[in-house]
Structure 1
Amino acid sequence: MAIGLIILYWVLLIVMAAGIVGAFIPAFPGIGLIVIAIAMWGAIAGFTQSVIIALGIAIAIFALTTAIDYLAGYMGAKKVGASNWGQTGAIIGMVLGLLGLLPALPIGGPIFGLLFGSMLGAFVGEMLHRRDLALPARFKLGTKVSLAIVVSSLLGNVLAGLLSIIATGTFLVATWSNVMVPVLSNL
């Protein structure tokens, strides 16, 4: 096997490792990087049956994690009585936090801005929507909704991260014996 192909293999494994890390972090590319890396390997090294299976599993996991990302936040918010205002506020806050448009946090940068923005947006959304409640009840509901949205989203990210490990592992199982075993046997 050509040295260039082996170097590409390791570069794509590094991209997949970044995808695994990204899957655990909200709003960062995760499983998408893994799908792209597997597709690149197939396009360059050939779409063998094992690479096609690994790519199919990665695409299925991509679709599943996309659904999980959406449903985790939605179900967590609905479970504690969130309104559409709270959910919309969480999305707006997440985008503002990710872009750094909220007051700067002393640590964490965009990741904490993203979480803080989601919480703040959900809280503000619920406070604006539930004006029929007394202020202490609105405050309690807003706090509950903001925490539920963040916790459920984080749980969704953990699940997405675990699934991205499975996608990468499938690729390794499918390709390692054809790529690295010959190299290691020549050493």
Structure 2
Amino acid sequence: MVALYWVLVVAMLVGIVGAIVPGIPGTSLILAAIVIWGAVKGFSDITIALAVGVLVFLMSLGIDFLATYWGAKKAGASNWGQIGAFVGFVLGFLGFLPTLPIGGPLGPIIGIFFGPLVGAIVGEYLYRKDLMIAVKAGLGIVVGSIVGNLIQGVLAVIAVTVFIFTTFPTVMGG
């Protein structure tokens, strides 16, 4: 049981990283680990941790959307920029961005960070035909996403901390 607990805690730590870094499961991984522990040990022991995990998961979904939307609107981006950012994320993750000729394991990681920026700028440029506005809109989308990811990271740390705080004494026999 103790080994499973630590495996789930490690999975939750990966979830914290995933809440900040796009392309890695974040709060959904944390919630899944909490649910697995509840299925094994009984949900009555993790009521608070489960409630916090569900709340953090739902909040992270909303924050993901709202932060990107806020960043886009503050920078004057259109839907074209937002769609471009999504397409850039996918293409960057898959390593298809011609501006990122870096292969190997770093290609997708770099693509995750630069793909949305390049995609937002291209999408906005196609819509407005003004490079300066496109760059401003692209930066706004990326800044909004980064702020949202940082907030999600804080929420993920809170969820994991609550889980450990409420379960650690029983797991370690205290």
Using the size of structure 2 for normalisation, the TM-score is 0.93
Distance 1:27 1:149 in 2: 17
Distance 1:105 1:165 in 2: 34
What CA deviation, in whole Å up to 9, does each residue of 1:51-103 have, x standing for no partner? 02211110110010111111111110111111111111111111111111213
Question: Is the contact made by 1:72 and 1:156 (CA closer than 8 Å) also made in structure 2?
Answer: yes
Distance 2:141 2:101 in 1: 20
Tell me what 1:63 maps to. Answer: 58
Q: Across the two proteins, how many residue pairs are aligned to each other?
A: 171
One-letter identity of the residue aligned with 2:127: H
Tell me what 2:141 maps to. Answer: 149
One-letter identity of the residue aligned with 1:153: S
Tell me what 2:15 maps to. Answer: 19
Q: Which moved more, 1:100-109 or 1:11-20?
A: 100-109
Distance 2:123 2:138 in 1: 9
Identity of aligned residues (%): 48
Mark the runs of 5 or more structure 2 residues left unpaired by the alignment: none
Q: How far is 1:181 from its partner?
A: 3.9
Question: Is the contact made by 1:105 and 1:113 (CA closer than 8 Å) also made in structure 2?
Answer: no
Tell me what 1:134 maps to. Answer: none
Tell me what 1:158 maps to. Answer: 150
RMSD: 1.4
One-letter identity of the residue aligned with 2:168: W
Q: Say which one has the larger Rg.
A: 1
Question: Is the contact made by 2:80 and 2:127 (CA closer than 8 Å) also made in structure 1?
Answer: yes
Pairing partner for 1:126 from 124, 127, 130: 124
Tell me what 1:110 maps to. Answer: 108
Distance 1:98 1:67 in 2: 23
Pairing partner for 1:168 from 154, 160, 163: 160
- 1:91 equivalent to 2:86? Answer yes
Mark the runs of 5 or more structure 1 residues left unpaired by the alignment: 132-137, 183-187
Question: Is the contact made by 2:75 and 2:141 (CA closer than 8 Å) also made in structure 1?
Answer: no
Q: How far is 1:111 from its partner?
A: 2.4
Distance 2:11 2:165 in 1: 17
